[in-house]
Amino acid sequence: MSRPLVPGLIAECEADEGFLGVVISRQLRELTWMSPHTVDVEATEIVACDREHMVTALEELAADCHLLFTHDDERARGKAEGVRYHSHYLVPVIGLGNTEVWLLADRGVWAGLAGSDLSLLPARPRDVERIADPSGILAATVPRRGKPIRDYFEYIGRNIDLAVLAQVPAYANWVAETRNALKGLGYL
């Protein structure tokens, strides 16, 4: 018998929806692959909102999801508190921090897109965290085919090498916190 795992994401921008929604589901599948249970990781449920409506969005997702992901400004400043629980549902809420640079971590995925300019991407995945203007680097990297940048987010999410992405310290921390939450929920 399989056990469902429904992740939820509070999205703040288009990159969250197209990129993170896919990466979260992929990473959860990888984490639960060795579970003693058969885990059916479902598509990430996404609610787009601003900071003012965060609690409402968390409540909405907590009713249907087992694990919630959101950006956390404190985490972005290096003050992560790890996994928190939201409301009476006791759904783990895991902060993602600044994820925009994650799109730039895997040179190989960009090399697979004809016309991409790799010249501004760092040589080592971990160095993406030093990029001061990830939006500018992303705009300079995408192929010039008349498509908006957002059209590449889902492709990158589906094709980015998770092992390369794990070399980014913030991503590795997020994976560790997610693994701990999955253990707490009895998935691992």
Per-residue tens of pLDDT for the chain, all 188 residues: 789 999 999 887 666 778 999 999 999 999 999 898 899 999 999 998 877 888 888 888 988 999 998 875 444 433 334 556 555 555 777 877 778 899 999 999 999 999 999 999 999 999 999 999 999 999 999 997 778 888 899 999 999 999 999 999 999 999 999 999 999 999 99
Amino acid 10: pLDDT: 87
Amino acid 15: pLDDT: 62
Does the residue 167 lie in any domain?
yes
Both 143 and 169 in one domain: the answer is: no
Residues 6+ positions from 116 with CB-CB distance below 8 Å: 110, 141, 142, 143
Nearest-angstrom CA–CA distance, 124 and 47: 33
Amino acid 51: pLDDT: 76
Both 117 and 24 in one domain: the answer is: no
Judge if pTM exceeds 0.85. Answer: yes
Does the residue 154 lie in any domain?
no
Both 46 and 73 in one domain: the answer is: yes
Does the residue 69 lie in any domain?
yes
Pick from 113, 59, 97: which is nearest to 173 by CA?
97
Both 61 and 25 in one domain: the answer is: yes
Both 86 and 64 in one domain: the answer is: yes
Both 86 and 137 in one domain: the answer is: no
Both 35 and 92 in one domain: the answer is: yes
Both 94 and 108 in one domain: the answer is: no
Question: What's the total number of domains in the chain?
Answer: 2
Does the residue 64 lie in any domain?
yes
Nearest-angstrom CA–CA distance, 116 and 144: 8
Nearest-angstrom CA–CA distance, 22 and 5: 14
Both 86 and 109 in one domain: the answer is: no
Both 54 and 111 in one domain: the answer is: no
Both 108 and 46 in one domain: the answer is: no
Cβ 53 vs Cβ 10: under 8 Å = no
Domain containing residue 66: CATH number: 3.40.50
Amino acid 75: pLDDT: 40
Nearest-angstrom CA–CA distance, 58 and 96: 15
Does the residue 51 lie in any domain?
yes
Cβ 92 vs Cβ 6: under 8 Å = no
Q: Which residue range is the domain that position 44 belongs to?
A: 2-100+163-184
Question: Which amino acid makes up residue 58?
Answer: L
Does the residue 153 lie in any domain?
no
Nearest-angstrom CA–CA distance, 182 and 31: 9
Nearest-angstrom CA–CA distance, 135 and 153: 13
Amino acid 83: pLDDT: 54
Nearest-angstrom CA–CA distance, 50 and 21: 17
Both 48 and 31 in one domain: the answer is: yes
User: CA distances (Å), 185 to each of 67, 180, 181, in order?
Assistant: 9, 9, 6
Does the residue 126 lie in any domain?
yes
